[in-house]
Amino acid sequence: MNSDKKLEFGVGVFVLLGLAALVYLTLKLGAGELVGSDTYPVEARFANTGGLSAGATVMLAGVTVGRVDAIRLDPQDYSAIVEMRVRAGLPLPADTMASIKTSGLIGDKFVALAPGADEELLEPSARITMTESALELESLISKMAFGSVNEGEGEDQKPSTSTEP
Amino acid sequence: MTQPSETRSQTNRRTGNFLLEVNDLQKGFGGRAVLRGVSLSVPRGSLFTVLGPSGAGKSVLLKCLANIEEPDGGQVSFEGRTLDFRDASSRGSFLRRCSFLFQGNALFDSLTAFRNVSLPLEQTTSLGRGEIRARAVEALEQLELGDYADHYPGMLSGGMQKRLALARAIVTRPEMVFFDEPTAGLDPLRRNAVFAMIAKYQALVGFTALIVTHDIVEALVASDTVALLHQGEICFYGTPDEFASSPHPVVQSFRDSPAALRSTLDGLRRGEAASEQS
Amino acid sequence: MDVVGSVGSFTLDKVRGLGDFALFTGRSLAAVFATKRLGARVARAVYEQGFRCLPVILIVGTFTGLVLGLQGYYVLNRFGSEALLGVLVSLSLVREMAPVLAALMLVGQAGSALAAELGIQRNTEQIAALDTMGINSCGYLVTPRLLAALFVFPAQTALFVAVGLWGGSLSGSLLLGVDPGVYWSSVQRAVESEDVRECLLKAVTFGLLTVSICAYQGFHAHRIRGATGARAVSAATTKAVVISSIAVLAADYVITSFLI
């Protein structure tokens, strides 16, 4: 009967440990704090996503508030449409600006949101019209070489030409 | 030993005479025929012995009957119904009414004696735990192993392992038990004890026994029907008395093997003596 | 002609073996509903594959994490992006290292034991005894192990990931000075639910694959050509480990290429 007790103990220990590890893996690591909790979709049109990929984080003031769901190409004007999901408890003003940034010099690309001051809020599935494309390292260097960094930024910041669907 | 013959004749009268009938059974391995058309009829309630020298195909015959090997041809019928070896339900219902005692006992070495005996009941019947426990304990006690229920097979002596294997075989209350060389590798006293044990529990539990062995002396004393398998064929079938007086040359050579050995040895010794003298 | 003939017979032999293996696995899985008192058998299998293999999983997981932390740090340091160490460690662990290495370790410890145990049971006619009792020997011996693998392999893989991440933080943060907050937040950020799904899918696949391969080899130890008895058992065990390991890596490639 002693070996039965040992068996029960071993199985119990392993099942508890294994379940704890599985819960950690699936709920804490895999899902982050977003999957499962409520989110709403937002779109943004960019002239150039510069290598942003699905799954990239969406940040506001340096805090993760969402993820990039998918990136597709609009065949009419060859611009990229980035579909994002943003945490439900976070209403965004209609004049929120989205820009694609890089963490560190060669780090991950992410979407940074900068809320505006509009009274109106973005509806779910609405499109953010103020966007700033990815900063390309090469063009940045060339601009620096010709001393026109500030002018270039103004050029890049043009609002999208699209209208709300 | 009057009681077993009584029960035997009673059962024979009640339900026809033959429990197991084998007709023209054939089996070969890689082109070599081992069984070349074996036919046997095992009377219900009998202690039936298949004799034969090593390599005659005795074990293969038994394995074909017990569904471990699939025969190449021929038929086996149990209670007059032909068995279909490929049909799982027909096989299953046949196997549930038989037990098989392996030459090496084939005890489950990771299970205690009690679990060894209770396993067939647990897995093949829908009996409750209490009933299984009672029957397993009963089987162990019948074979005087009641004190060893918690022992693992490796902790038991050879004779006790044999008894444990028999306990496991009879716990399902089979109608037929197959014995594959139950006395292989045992000394004469143990051989006697094994045959006595088989006969005793046959009388007690009432199964039909089919024993494959080459221990001719014990087999002739204990069994009531004898068959001799030689080179894959049955060359004798009858009672032990008939066997003792059969003029068949193979039977004679098998029966007279001790005498033959004596004369061979005598010849050798005489030859040695002659060479020493010269 | 002889060469062509032997190539043909070799191929046929292998194809027949594959079909036989598939039948064996299928029969074992189908026996789930036909086998009685499966629970206790599954518990024993969880003990063998799970509890007994815990030390090796924890040790190998820790060292894998330690090495990933070290190597990753030196590579990333060249580009000044040590902050991404957590990404590197966590993604390599979750997507590749944990499922593959955990499966290989389990093959080495539990799989080889399974093959040897079944081989000896075949050798001593215990499997034949089950058959003659009318007990489904696949159902009794193999099914509980397959069922256990469905839980044990993902659980062991998850444990491997957990201790691996901890190992990575040991070498990365404690030894080499990456800020622990940066490390753990980049771990948190890097791993997606798809990565975890891939990880668990691999673990379950490897579990079913290796357990059925090891069981198949041990179960058919009597079919090993040119060897009997102890030799046949050792040959079956060797085959089980070698084939399982190859199968793990091959299946890993296939799954990865389908999911990426």
Question: For residues B142-175, b (16+ Cβ closer than 10 Å) or e, as one string?
Answer: bbebeebbeebbeebeeebbbbbbbbbbbbbebb
C201 interface with A at CB cutoff 8 Å: no
Interchain pair A14, C46: CB under 8 A:
yes
Pick the closest to residue B34 from B18, B11, B57, B5 (CA basis).
B57
pLDDT over threshold 70, residue B10: no
Interchain pair B109, C37: CB under 8 A:
no
Same domain, B91 and B182: yes
Same domain, A25 and A50: no
Question: Is residue A165 assigned to a domain?
Answer: no
Same domain, B191 and B230: yes
Which residues in chain C have Cβ-Cβ distances shorter than 8 Å to B153?
Answer: none
Angle at which helices C143-169 and C2-30 cross, to 10°: 90
Give the CA-trace dihedral at C41, C47, C50, C55, to 10 degrees.
-160
> What's the complex ipTM?
0.85
Which residues in chain A have Cβ-Cβ distances shorter than 8 Å to C40?
Answer: none
Same domain, A96 and A148: yes
Of A49-58, B21-30, B102-111, C231-240, the least confident = A49-58
Residuewise pLDDT in 10s, chain A (165 residues) = 577 888 889 999 999 999 999 988 888 776 655 444 577 888 888 888 877 877 788 888 887 788 888 888 888 888 888 888 888 778 888 888 888 888 766 667 888 888 888 888 888 878 888 888 777 777 777 777 776 555 544 444 444 444 444
Question: For residues B23-58, b (16+ Cβ closer than 10 Å) or e, as one string?
Answer: eebbbeeeeeebbeebebbbbbbbbbbbbbbeebbb
Alpha helices of chain C — where are they, by DSSP H?
2-30, 38-49, 54-78, 85-92, 98-106, 112-123, 126-132, 137-141, 143-169, 180-190, 193-219, 229-259
Same domain, A70 and A144: yes
Which residues in chain B have Cβ-Cβ distances shorter than 8 Å to C133?
Answer: 95, 99-100, 119-120, 123-124, 172
Task: Beginning with the edge strand found earlier in the chain, give each strand of the sheet holding B47-51 in spatial order.
Answer: B98-101, B176-180, B208-213, B47-51, B225-230, B233-238
Question: Is residue B189 assigned to a domain?
Answer: yes
What pLDDT score was predicted for residue C180? 86
Same domain, B156 and B187: no
Same domain, A65 and A2: no
Residue among B93, B100, B126 with most chain C CBs within 10 A, to mutate: B100
What are the tens digits of pLDDT across the range B23-58?
A: 888 888 877 888 888 888 888 888 999 988 777 788
Of B174-188, C135-149, C228-242, the least confident = B174-188
Same domain, A46 and A120: yes
Residue A71, classified by CB atoms within 10 Å of its CB into exposed (0-12), middle (13-18) or buried (19+), is middle
3-state secondary structure B183-195: CCCCCHHHHHHHH
Same domain, B147 and B188: no
Domain boundaries, chain C: 2-259
Q: CA B69 to CA B61: how far, in whole Å? A: 9
A27: helix, coil or strand?
A: helix
Question: Is residue B93 assigned to a domain?
Answer: yes
C157: helix, coil or strand?
A: helix
pLDDT over threshold 80, residue B148: yes
What are the tens digits of pLDDT across the range C40-56?
A: 899 999 999 999 999 99
Overall number of domains in chain B: 3
Q: What is the CA radius of gyration of chain B?
A: 20
pTM: 0.77
Range of the domain at B115: 111-171
What are the tens digits of pLDDT across the range B57-76?
A: 888 888 888 777 888 888 88
What pLDDT score was predicted for residue A138? 72
User: Looking at the partner chain, which of C121, C126, C140 has a beta carbon nearest the beta carbon of B123?
Assistant: C140
Return phi, psi of residue B57, to 5°.
100, 15
Same domain, B4 and B66: yes
C75 interface with A at CB cutoff 8 Å: no
Question: Is residue A164 assigned to a domain?
Answer: no
Question: Is residue B105 assigned to a domain?
Answer: no
B179 interface with C at CB cutoff 8 Å: no
Question: Is residue B104 assigned to a domain?
Answer: no
User: Looking at the partner chain, which of A29, A105, A106 has a beta carbon nearest the beta carbon of C196?
Assistant: A29
pLDDT over threshold 70, residue B277: no
Which residues in chain C have Cβ-Cβ distances shorter than 8 Å to B66?
Answer: 132
Contact B199, B232 (CB under 8 A): no
Q: CA B167 to CA B164: how far, in whole Å? A: 5
User: Looking at the partner chain, which of C51, C81, C94 has a beta carbon nearest the beta carbon of A14?
Assistant: C51
User: What CATH number does the domain containing B191 carry?
Assistant: 3.40.50.300
Q: Which residues pair with B236 in a beta bridge?
A: B228
Overall number of domains in chain A: 2
Give the closest-approach CA distance of C67 to chain A in angstroms. Answer: 21
Of A151-165, B10-24, B243-257, C219-233, the least confident = A151-165
Average pLDDT of chain C is 92
Same domain, B155 and B124: yes
Q: Chains near A, with 3+ CB pairs < 8 A?
A: C
User: Looking at the partner chain, which of C126, C129, C134 has a beta carbon nearest the beta carbon of B92?
Assistant: C134
Same domain, B115 and B145: yes
Range of the domain at A9: 1-30
Interchain pair A14, C195: CB under 8 A:
no
Q: CA A44 to CA A85: how far, in whole Å? A: 11
Query: Tokens at residue C173, please?
Result: 């943060």
What pLDDT score was predicted for residue C51? 94
Question: To which residue do tokens 């010849």 refer?
Answer: B267
pLDDT over threshold 90, residue C92: yes
Question: To which residue do tokens 């590890």 refer?
Answer: A21
Same domain, B160 and B182: no
